[in-house]
Structure 1
Amino acid sequence: MRKLLLIIALFGLGFTQPALAVETLSVKAQKAQQQEQQHNAEREAQFKQRELQLAKRKAELEKRKAQLDLSIESLSRSFSDNEHTLAEQQKKLHLETGSLGELFGVVRQSAKELQLELAHSVANTEQSTHIHAIDDIVAAKRLPSILELTGLWHAFQAQITSSSTYSDITVPFVSGSGELTQLEVTRLGNFALLSGHGPVDWNGEQASDFPRLPKHVQTSAEAAGIITGHTSATIDPSRGEIYKQLADALTLAERFEHGGFVGKIIAGLFVLGMTIALYRAAVLMNIQQKINRQLKSPQTPTDNPLGRILNVYSSEKQLHVEALELRLLESIMDEQQHLERGLSMLKLLAALAPMLGLLGTVTGMIETFQVITQFGNAEPRVMAGGISMALITTVLGLISAMPLLLAHNLLSSKSEAIRNILERQSVGLVAQQAEAQSTEHKDAYAA
C-alpha cells in the first residue's frame, strides 16, 4: 500500500512541473510583446516627427525656388533690355565717331611702330617721357585724346631730331667678365654708341662689347668730326647687326681648327711635301748650273752628273763602241736615280692629301647625323655649321694636293731635262768614239 501511494505521489509531481514551465513561458512572451509594441510606438513617433521636419523643409525649398524663379525671370528681362540698350549705344557710337575708328587704328599702329623703334634705339634713355606716353596709347582701348595725339607728335619729333644729333651720355655697361659698370659714350644719331675703344652694342637696356670689330673703328673722340663731315667714318647703320655677323665670319686660323685632327695631319703632310719639293728644286737648280758650267769646259770634268759621265768616258774610251755605250747608259741611270730622288714621295703625298680630306669629311658628316639623330634637325643653322666644318678637311686636302702635284710635275720636268742633256752628251761621246775607231781601222787597213 505504501508503495502504491509512493508511486501515485511521484506521478503527481511529474505532471505538476510541466504546467509550471508552460505558465512561465507565457508570461515571458507577453512581456516581450509589450516591449516590442512600446518600441514600435516610439519608432512611429520618430517617423512622424521626421516627416513633419521634411515637410517643413520641402515647403521652405519650394518657397526658395519660387523666389529664384522670379529672380531669374527678372534677370533675363534685364539682360535682354541691356543687350538692346548696348546695341543701340553701339549704333549711336558708330554714327557719332564716323571715321575716328580708322584714325584710332592708324594711331595705334604708328604708336606700336614707334614703340618698337624706341625699344632698340640708342636714344631711348633720353626719351623716357615719350616712351611712357606711347605705351599709354598702345594699351588704350578707346579713342586717343588730343593730349595723347600731341604726345605722339612730340615723340616722333624728338626721334627725328635725335637722329641728326650726337650727345655724350652715360649708360650701364656689362664687361666681358660680367661686371656691371657705368660707361661714358657718345650717342651718334639713333643707331650707334661710340665709346673710347670703339662701337658698343646696345640692347635697349644696357651696353656691351661686340664679339668682333673691324680693324679700324671710330671712337667717341671722333664723333664731332663724323657729324660735321671732317672725318671719314665707316659706321654700321643696322644698330650693330653687321658687326655681330663679323663674329660668324671665321678667320683662316679658326677654319683650320675646325678641320680637327685630320686637318692637322693634312697640313703636316703638306709641309713635309713642300719641304721635299723646295729642297729638290734647290738641288736640281744647283745641278743645272753645274752642268751649264761643265758644258763650257768639257775637258776638265768636275763633281756633277755630266762631269761624272765624262770621267766614265775618259776611263773607258778604250772599250768598243757598244761596250762604251752600255757603260755610259749605266752611268746615266745612276744619275737619273739621284735626280728623281724624293719625287715618288712627293707624288704619294699629293695623292694621299685629298683622300685624307675625304676621310675627314665623311667622319664629320657621321658626327653631324649623330647629332641630328639625338637632337633633331629643328635648327638648320646648326646642321649647316656641322656640314661646313666637315667640308673643311676636303678643302684642306685639295689645297694641299694641288701645289704638291704641281711641284711634282715641275720637278719631274726639270729632272727629265737634265737627263736629256746627259743622254745627248753621252750619245755625242759615243759617236765621237765610233768615228775615232773607224778612222783607226781605215788607217790600219791602208797600211
Structure 2
Amino acid sequence: KRGQQEVLLNESTATKVKEEDRSAKLEAVFEENEKELNELTETLNERLGALKELFGVMQQVAGDARSRFDNSLTNVQYPNRSSFLDNLAKKLGSSSKLPSIDEIEKLWFELQREMTESGKVVKFSTDVIDIQGSKSQTTVVRVGAFNIVADGKYLNYEPTTGNVSEIPRQPEGRRYTSSTSELFNSTGGKVVFGLDPTLGGVLSSLVARPNLIERIQQGGIVGYLVIALGLFGVGLSIERLIKLVNADRKVTAQLESDVISEDNPLGRVLGVYEKNKTVDTETLELKMAEAVFKETPELNKGLLLIKVISVVAPLMGLLGT
C-alpha cells in the first residue's frame, strides 16, 4: 500500500508541474494576444479617425429615426423600417463591425422618403379595426403625417401596436366627416379637409366635446329648469310681440280713420271722449285718464315677468356651475 501511495503521489506531483508549465505558457500567450489586440485596436482607431465620429452620429440618427418612424403615420404604409434601423444602430455601436455603403445609403433613403411622404396625400389599403373590434382590409387616405381617414371617418394610429382603428366617436358636425368623404373620393385638385396639424390633439378635443343633448344632460335639474324657464320666456315674448304688433297696426289704422273703432286702445280712449265731450274739462280729463289707465295693464302685461326671467335664468345657470 505504501508503494502505491508513493506512486500516486509522484504522478500527482508530475501532473501538477505539467499543468503549472501549461498555465504559464497560456498566461504568456494571453498577455501576448492582449498586447496584440491593444495594438490592433489602437491601429483601428487611428485609421478610423473622423469616421468614428461619423458612425457615432449615424448611430444617434438611426436611433432617432426609428423613434420618429414608429410614431409617424407613414409607418402604416412602410412598416418594415424598424428592424433595419435597429440592426444598423447595433452594428454602429459595435467596435467589430462597420456599416456597408448600401446600409448608409439606405439610411439616407429612409430619411429622404419620410420627408417626402410627409408632404403627400396617398390612398392605399391596410388593415383597419372597426368599433366592433373586427379587422378588415380597408382603403384609406393618409394626409402627410397629420391624419389618416377612410370614407366619412377619421382613423387613429396606435404606435405601440401598429394598428389602425376607427375612433369610437367621430367629431360632431358634418363639416368634418363630410370633408373626409370629399378627400377620399377626390381624384385631384383642391379639396376642403379638416386637417389636424397637432397630430391628433385637436381631433381628440373635438371628439371629447359634448354635443347639445350631452350638454343638456350635464346640466342636470338646474339645466332643465333653465331651459324650461327660457322656453317659457321665449313663448311669452312671442305672444306679447304678436299682440303689441297687432295693437300697433290697429292704432295706426285708427289714426288714419275718422271712424272710431272699439277694437284698439286708441279707439276706446277716443270713444270715452265722444261719450263725455259735453261735460266740463276737469271731468273729461279724469274720464280720459281713467280710460288710459284701463288700457295700460293690457299693453304692459307680461313685460315685467319677461324682465325677471331674463335676470333669473343666468343666475340659475351660475348656480348650476
Structure 1 position 145 matched with structure 2 position 91? no
Distance 1:267 1:114, change over 3 A: same
Between the aligned partners of 1:258 and 1:87, the Cα distance in structure 2 is: 75
Q: Which amino acid is the alignment partner of residue 183 of structure 1? A: T
Q: Which amino acid is the alignment partner of residue 234 of structure 2? A: M
- Residue aligning to 1:353: 313
- Residue aligning to 2:164: 207
Q: Deviations over 1:390-421 (max 9, x none)?
A: xxxxxxxxxxxxxxxxxxxxxxxxxxxxxxxx
Which runs of 5 or more structure 2 residues have no equivalent in the other structure? 1-23
Q: Deviations over 1:175-225 (max 9, x none)?
A: 112222232335565655443445533224221224325032235442xx2
- Residue aligning to 2:132: 177
The answer to which of 322-331 and 179-188 deviates more is 179-188
CA shift at 1:163, angstroms?
5.1
Equivalent residue for 1:337, pick from 286, 289, 297: 297
Equivalent residue for 1:304, pick from 249, 261, 264: 264
Which runs of 5 or more structure 1 residues have no equivalent in the other structure? 1-73, 362-447
Report if the CA contact (8 A) 1:174-1:181 is conserved: yes
Report if the CA contact (8 A) 2:222-2:320 is conserved: yes
Equivalent residue for 1:115, pick from 30, 48, 66: 66
CA shift at 1:321, angstroms?
2.3
Identity across the alignment (%): 26
Report if the CA contact (8 A) 1:167-1:188 is conserved: yes
Q: Which amino acid is the alignment partner of residue 102 of structure 1? A: E
- Residue aligning to 2:245: 285
Q: Which amino acid is the alignment partner of residue 212 of structure 1? A: Q
Counterpart mapping for 1:234-249 below 5 A: 234=193, 236=195, 238=197, 239-249=199-209
Distance 1:284 1:188, change over 3 A: closer
Between the aligned partners of 1:356 and 1:235, the Cα distance in structure 2 is: 37
CA shift at 1:246, angstroms?
2.6
Report if the CA contact (8 A) 2:196-2:203 is conserved: no
CA shift at 1:102, angstroms?
1.9
Structure 1 position 135 matched with structure 2 position 86? yes
Counterpart mapping for 1:405-416 below 5 A: none
Structure 1 position 101 matched with structure 2 position 58? no
User: What do you get for the CA RMSD once the two structures are aligned?
Assistant: 3.6
Report if the CA contact (8 A) 1:167-1:187 is conserved: yes
Between the aligned partners of 1:235 and 1:344, the Cα distance in structure 2 is: 47
Q: Which amino acid is the alignment partner of residue 142 of structure 1? A: S
Between the aligned partners of 1:324 and 1:317, the Cα distance in structure 2 is: 7
Report if the CA contact (8 A) 1:199-1:219 is conserved: no
- Residue aligning to 2:236: 276
CA shift at 1:274, angstroms?
1.9
Q: Tell me, what secondary structure is at the counterpart of 1:317? A: coil
Structure 1 position 262 matched with structure 2 position 222? yes
Between the aligned partners of 2:219 and 2:299, the Cα distance in structure 1 is: 36
Report if the CA contact (8 A) 1:294-1:307 is conserved: yes
Between the aligned partners of 2:279 and 2:165, the Cα distance in structure 1 is: 90
Report if the CA contact (8 A) 1:173-1:208 is conserved: yes
Between the aligned partners of 1:282 and 1:134, the Cα distance in structure 2 is: 76
Distance 1:310 1:258, change over 3 A: same
Between the aligned partners of 2:267 and 2:36, the Cα distance in structure 1 is: 119
Distance 1:255 1:133, change over 3 A: same
Q: Tell me, what secondary structure is at the counterpart of 2:94? A: coil
Between the aligned partners of 2:76 and 2:287, the Cα distance in structure 1 is: 95
Q: Which amino acid is the alignment partner of residue 60 of structure 2? A: Q
Q: Tell me, what secondary structure is at the counterpart of 1:216? A: helix
CA shift at 1:345, angstroms?
0.9
Q: Deviations over 1:124-149 (max 9, x none)?
A: 35545543111112344325421532
Q: Tell me, what secondary structure is at the counterpart of 1:183? A: strand
Q: Deviations over 1:352-397 (max 9, x none)?
A: 1222122112xxxxxxxxxxxxxxxxxxxxxxxxxxxxxxxxxxxx
Distance 1:330 1:110, change over 3 A: same
Structure 1 position 326 matched with structure 2 position 280? no
CA shift at 1:280, angstroms?
1.2
Query: What TM-score, normalized by structure 1, do the two folds share?
Result: 0.53
Q: Tell me, what secondary structure is at the counterpart of 2:136? A: strand
State the 4+ residue runs in structure 1 displaced beyond 6 angstroms: 84-87, 164-167
Q: Deviations over 1:71-113 (max 9, x none)?
A: xxx9xx99xx89x969956766654433233212211221123
Equivalent residue for 1:216, pick from 176, 179, 197: 179
Q: Which amino acid is the alignment partner of residue 287 of structure 2? A: R
